[in-house]
Amino acid sequence: MGAAYFYHLTRRPLEETLPMLLGKARGAGWRVAVRGRDAARLDWLDQRLWLGEAEEFLPHGRAGGKADARQPILLTETRAAPNEPQCVMAIDGAEVCPEEVAALERVCVLFDGTDPAAVQAARVQWKALTDAGCAAQYWSEESGRWEKKAER
């Protein structure tokens, strides 16, 4: 049974934090689906992921291509992920359900700590998942480094 990890972004933006988490997930040998709600935002992230240094390159693709099933990291707007991920990273308020948390190694919920609506949406997701019996951790970078602030 997996767990949901909530990442409260306050110091670094998504485009800096996401590659770090993707690198850790890939280091664990996991395939990843990055789930968003907005196609343009995922297209933008796709382009940002291509800009990293060669030694930091994260092989990935945008959902809708012929090679979706072979992508180690797939950026998608839907729950269906043909790359059969062990980890889902939900961004920009994308929904995750308790069944996904139970079936995957990890679900990561990344949210913008400077956006009150994003913080509220993350609180609602935390409550829904923990009320359903999912293990969850809350991580904050408020101090300048990532620290676990809560666990259920």
58-75: per-residue pLDDT in tens?
Answer: 999 999 989 999 999 999
The topology (CATH level 3) of 3-151 is Rossmann fold (3.40.50)
Taking the domains of the chain in order of start, what are their residue ranges?
Answer: 3-151
Question: Closest Cα partner for 113 from 146, 141, 150, 151?
Answer: 141
User: Does an H or E element contain 35, and which?
Assistant: strand 32-35
What's the CA gap between 71 and 93, in Å, rounded? 23
- Residue pLDDT, tens place only, 79-123: 999 999 999 999 999 999 999 999 999 999 999 999 999 999 999
